[in-house]
Structure 1
Amino acid sequence: MIKSINPDNSNVTTTKVPNAHKSKGRLMQNSHKNHKSETYDDLKSDFSREIFSSLESYLPTDMLTISRAEKVKYMSNILLDYLPPGMRNRDQKQREYRRMILSNYKPRHQEIYVVDPTTFFVPTFLKAIYDNTEESIRSIVSEPAPGIFTFEMFQPHFCELLISEVENFEKWVNQTNFQVIRPNTMNKYGAVLDDFGLQTMLNKLMESFICPLSKVFYSEIGGSTLDSHHGFVVEYGKNKDTDLGFHVDDSEVTLNVCLGKQFSGGELFFRGMRCEKHLRTETHPKETFDYFHVPGRAVLHHGRHRHGARATTSGHRVNLLLWCRSSGFREMMKYKKDFSTCCAKCYQEKSKKMLQSIEEVKSVNNTHFSFSCFSF
């Protein structure tokens, strides 16, 4: 039972909050249109802060006035109900892993743990985001190939600080013999930035500085509803990874920014978008595009856009990657059967079937016309 007490101690009301361990929490079918959700910017949770802001407007009416802490508990239990048991265990292990790091690792550059727009971003990028119009966004972006967007993003000094922080983390890992989890199954080097305290900064980066772009360029794949991320740094060069095989990302939208240093090679090669079924199908010549990294410059692309990285032949290349995801879009995709809008092969097959159908209709009409000619 939760007690809500007015300052004068009058009109004491009690609200029963369902215990999610005993029964599944419920949400309203329709949102409370005039309800203003609380701010969750300072919330430390494994779920995106935007999820809580959105869910709050769907809470049962008698729960809108309870404390924020109880709302968070109630909504968290609802979200956990949708996680498979195996994923819950995995998330619990991840929380313990991160707690272990955060309680022992000492950051080198505290100033990069909170977004400071004027020191992070180049002026042209910042102005476009603050103007917040489609025209301003498009004015700073180039589209060298369909669906692939490039733009100047980070200040050189920020790139240097982030590289230095990653190097400091790697030094701590080596000194303590800590068993670190690498960014993904393909990279043997690099670090997950969320693991050592940069999760809040990256979440702000996604919400306030990537979403305005993805809303313009990727609205059809959840670009305006990004609510979670996986942020990491990868390293290529001598005694590091050299290249990266052909793959797609576990994201709706991927941000890839070269941080430095001096290097040769390492080009990204893109080979068209595919659904899971057609992942390894042939590439059409028009889908072929190579991108050359420049420190501070970002490339934004669809997560299902097939790509890889050629060998870094000399020097040391460091890149920041942010896999941005939309839980709403992923839920919708569970019921989707037509992927022709995001898979060239599906589009080709759909077009072929449409042409066949048209030819069949023409054939039937011609046959009908022939019989009509002999009916006099």
Structure 2
Amino acid sequence: MTFYNCACYYTNNIFLEEYKLHVQFIDEEQFRQEYEQKLRENGCDTNEKLDHVLQTILSEVSRRKNANKDLIRRKEIIKDLYKPCHPAIYTLKQQYLHPKFLEIWHVCKNPHVKLKDVMNLLSCEAANQVYSFPVFTEEFCEVFIQEIEHFEKSECPKGRPNTMNNYGVLLNELGFDEDFITPLREIYLRRITAILYPDWGGDCLDSHKAFVVTYKLGHDINLSYHYDNSEVTLNVALGKQFTGSELYFGDMKSNSGKVSTSEFTRYDHKLGVGLLHRGQHMHGASPLTSGERYNIIIWMRSSEIRNELCPMCNKRPTLVPCSGFGDGFTTGKMVELCATL
């Protein structure tokens, strides 16, 4: 199966960190008409500052246009030069998975399983349809962080995890996709999401984007309020020791307006525990106050859902060729894959 990006990737959802604003950029005239007044009200009050914003946007647009070939180039360099610290962990084994996670998975494999049977095994957070459960053992989390730190210290090129996180690792570039993340999604996670999110493509999650995000003082310390480019997201805390940086959830994107901080539902990270939520569920991360935080994020996508409506531009997607899973769009429905559950 061939996957695609939507053309909106090159124009929409460009994040201006300084002004906590996502913008669309078709051309300078459109941009000035739509955003200049708002930017000036938010502190971009000189022509020099506005010119800097425009240069930042043009740089990001250029990065996106070259992202596909840059990704291929980085993967080739990493494959040739990088020597893994723990090569065994690049292939998923059941011993890496927490016994509680395997228990949930076994229950979900039952063709007659009911939602209530699964709910009895989960921690249901106060936010609607947000669930938490152990995913990895503490031993695996420790070894996995060692591998990530080993790679971070290498001289290999590294891509940004996404447009909002500046620090972390794209796991497909490092070589974790084929034998670790893909079987984790196809064999294990999709059994669970099929029960919990049937209306969000939970039974047909046929692609993903997986990455590690890192937070520490002097680097990224928080994450602005946003939604994910996914149907379902899994966020697993790997460690280390830190304070602050709790997640907070608001409303769904379609219902989201002005939300006061008192209306947020907050969640503290726990080692090895994953938080499962809908991609369109608005959320963010409060500032880290000490230490370092590592999390693995898996944006899981259903082409059957997103082929009808791109979650980023809210239009029927205009398909653009790319490598790998792209943003999870296809030219048709994945009927055979869905039928295997």
Which of the five TM-score ranges fits, normalised by the shorter chain? 0.5 to 0.7
Mapped partners of 1:292, 1:223: distance in 2: 25
Give the 3 Å change call, closer, same or farther, for CA 180–334 of structure 1 in structure 2.
closer
Unaligned runs of 5+ in 1: 1-51, 53-75, 339-376
Once the two structures are TM-superposed, the CA of residue 116 in structure 1 deviates from its matched residue by 0.4
Mapped partners of 2:285, 2:292: distance in 1: 14
TM-score for the superposition, normalised by structure 2:
0.68
Mapped partners of 1:156, 1:297: distance in 2: 9
- Does residue 121 (structure 1) correspond to residue 97 (structure 2)? The answer is yes
Mapped partners of 2:82, 2:142: distance in 1: 20
Of the three residues 153, 163, 166, the one matched with 1:185 is 163
Once the two structures are TM-superposed, the CA of residue 170 in structure 1 deviates from its matched residue by 0.4
Corresponding residue of 2:147: 165
Once the two structures are TM-superposed, the CA of residue 92 in structure 1 deviates from its matched residue by 4.1
In the TM superposition, what whole-angstrom CA distance separates every residue of 1:123-175 from its partner, at most 9, and x where no partner exists? 12112212324455323212122111111221001101110110011011xxx
Mapped partners of 2:269, 2:66: distance in 1: 38
In the TM superposition, what whole-angstrom CA distance separates every residue of 1:213-234 from its partner, at most 9, and x where no partner exists? 1111111111111111111111
Corresponding residue of 1:328: 304
Mapped partners of 1:284, 1:264: distance in 2: 23
Amino acid corresponding to residue 138 of structure 1 in structure 2? M
When Rg is computed on C-alpha atoms for both structures, the one with the higher figure is 1
Mapped partners of 1:115, 1:97: distance in 2: 23
Amino acid corresponding to residue 251 of structure 2 in structure 1? G
Q: 1:1-376 residue pairs with structure 2 within 5 A?
A: 52=1, 76=2, 90-117=67-94, 119-131=95-107, 132-133=109-110, 134-135=113-114, 136-144=117-125, 145-172=127-154, 176=155, 178-200=156-178, 201-275=180-254, 281-283=257-259, 288-333=264-309
Does the 8 Å contact 1:272/1:306 carry over to 2?
yes
Mapped partners of 1:267, 1:236: distance in 2: 12
Amino acid corresponding to residue 161 of structure 2 in structure 1? P
Does the 8 Å contact 1:101/1:196 carry over to 2?
yes
TM-score for the superposition, normalised by structure 1:
0.62
Matched residue of 1:246: which SS? strand
Once the two structures are TM-superposed, the CA of residue 93 in structure 1 deviates from its matched residue by 3.9
Matched residue of 2:208: which SS? strand
Corresponding residue of 1:370: none
Give the 3 Å change call, closer, same or farther, for CA 334–106 of structure 1 in structure 2.
closer
Mapped partners of 2:260, 2:221: distance in 1: 27
Mapped partners of 1:191, 1:285: distance in 2: 30
Corresponding residue of 2:328: none
Does the 8 Å contact 1:129/1:137 carry over to 2?
no
Give the 3 Å change call, closer, same or farther, for CA 99–108 of structure 1 in structure 2.
same
Does the 8 Å contact 2:78/2:157 carry over to 1?
no
Amino acid corresponding to residue 112 of structure 1 in structure 2? I
In the TM superposition, what whole-angstrom CA distance separates every residue of 1:266-302 from its partner, at most 9, and x where no partner exists? 1101011013xx65x1238996200011111110001
Once the two structures are TM-superposed, the CA of residue 90 in structure 1 deviates from its matched residue by 4.5
In the TM superposition, what whole-angstrom CA distance separates every residue of 1:21-53 from its partner, at most 9, and x where no partner exists? xxxxxxxxxxxxxxxxxxxxxxxxxxxxxxx4x
Matched residue of 1:169: which SS? helix
Does the 8 Å contact 1:125/1:140 carry over to 2?
no
In the TM superposition, what whole-angstrom CA distance separates every residue of 1:172-221 from its partner, at most 9, and x where no partner exists? 1xxx2x44211012112111111110011111111112111111111111
Amino acid corresponding to residue 195 of structure 1 in structure 2? E
Amino acid corresponding to residue 196 of structure 1 in structure 2? L
Amino acid corresponding to residue 83 of structure 2 in structure 1? K
Mapped partners of 1:284, 1:216: distance in 2: 32
Amino acid corresponding to residue 166 of structure 1 in structure 2? I
Does the 8 Å contact 2:74/2:158 carry over to 1?
no
Identity %: 35
Matched residue of 1:235: which SS? strand
In the TM superposition, what whole-angstrom CA distance separates every residue of 1:284-331 from its partner, at most 9, and x where no partner exists? 899620001111111000101111001111111111110111111101
Matched residue of 1:182: which SS? coil
Mapped partners of 1:284, 1:170: distance in 2: 37
In the TM superposition, what whole-angstrom CA distance separates every residue of 1:66-98 from its partner, at most 9, and x where no partner exists? xxxxxxxxxx5xx67x976x8997434422321
Amino acid corresponding to residue 236 of structure 2 in structure 1? V
Give the 3 Å change call, closer, same or farther, for CA 305–101 of structure 1 in structure 2.
same
Mapped partners of 2:263, 2:199: distance in 1: 20
Between the two proteins, the alignment pairs up a number of residues equal to 253
Mapped partners of 1:290, 1:148: distance in 2: 11
Amino acid corresponding to residue 242 of structure 2 in structure 1? F
Once the two structures are TM-superposed, the CA of residue 114 in structure 1 deviates from its matched residue by 0.8
Mapped partners of 1:219, 1:88: distance in 2: 34
Give the 3 Å change call, closer, same or farther, for CA 93–313 of structure 1 in structure 2.
closer
